[in-house]
Structure 1
């Protein structure tokens, strides 16, 4: 049995999970440190989330560029968004100012990649399936 994965949808979900973690989790789960759980300000967890978003996003966007639309724009937008994410980790006081454009750029890159892959129409559709098999 093979499982088909839509990497753009997975990338968008990962980016949104990161945004939810960064924006909502601190507001809702402020009592976690009382129980010894330090997920809110845990830098390793933050870097792990950024790393996962980078790996999934890079693969999805590179696959779309190489196999479908050949446009660098989604990768450029994604890269700028990732720079904002890493920068927010360095300049913690600017976290919310950097997080919003980062998430907007990353989600826009995945959405644009998704749209470009769907618009791209060519004769060799057999070897150009958007979904990959795991």
Structure 2
């Protein structure tokens, strides 16, 4: 079945969100191990808290946009049920946990990123199962 251009755009945004969240989780999990190596390869900005906060804000905004829109399309709460704890863990990790050892920060943001990526993947899967409905806004 053909998908509307709008649906394809939301799927692309979901894919971007899934990749960004997964990369965030990998970044946060690996950061304690590679922190000393980043300046040697010119990537010290990856350890900067401002970069991390900006990335988390981007991931949270993209997740809220795509997942709420996905819920409006398929009316299934599973992606949101994965996303909300993930968002909470990410936000706790880049705010409160920065005052504690880096291990706590890494665990919180890694788990949050994995939950957020999972929410995007579930949203994509539910969107593929949703049949295309012909209506007044249909492009074909």
TM-score of the aligned structures, taking structure 2 as reference length? 0.72
3-state SS, counterpart of residue 121 of structure 1? coil
Moved over 6 A (4+): 34-37
Q: Determine the C-alpha separation between the residues in 2 that align with 1:111 and 1:65.
A: 13
Residue 35 of structure 1: how far off its partner (Å): 8.3
Matches for 1:29-44 after TM superposition, within 5 Å: 30-33=36-39, 38-44=44-50
Aligned to 2:78: 73
Change (3 A) 1:121 1:42: same
**Consecutive unaligned residues in structure 1, runs of 5 or more:** 130-134
1:99 pairs with 2:104: no
Structure 1 or 2: more helix by fraction: 2
Asked if structure 2 preserves the Cα contact closer than 8 Å seen for 1:77 and 1:106, the reply is yes
Aligned to 2:125: 115
Change (3 A) 1:125 1:18: farther
1:10 pairs with 2:38: no
Residue 101 of structure 1: how far off its partner (Å): 2.4
What is the CA RMSD across the aligned residues, in angstroms? 2.9
TM-score of the aligned structures, taking structure 1 as reference length? 0.75
Change (3 A) 1:65 1:35: closer
Change (3 A) 1:43 1:100: closer
Asked if structure 2 preserves the Cα contact closer than 8 Å seen for 1:84 and 1:99, the reply is yes
Residue 48 of structure 1: how far off its partner (Å): 0.3
Asked if structure 2 preserves the Cα contact closer than 8 Å seen for 1:26 and 1:40, the reply is no
Q: Could you tell which deviates more after superposition, 29-38 or 74-83? A: 29-38
Matches for 1:119-134 after TM superposition, within 5 Å: 119-124=129-134, 127=137
Q: Determine the C-alpha separation between the residues in 1 that align with 2:27 and 2:77.
A: 29
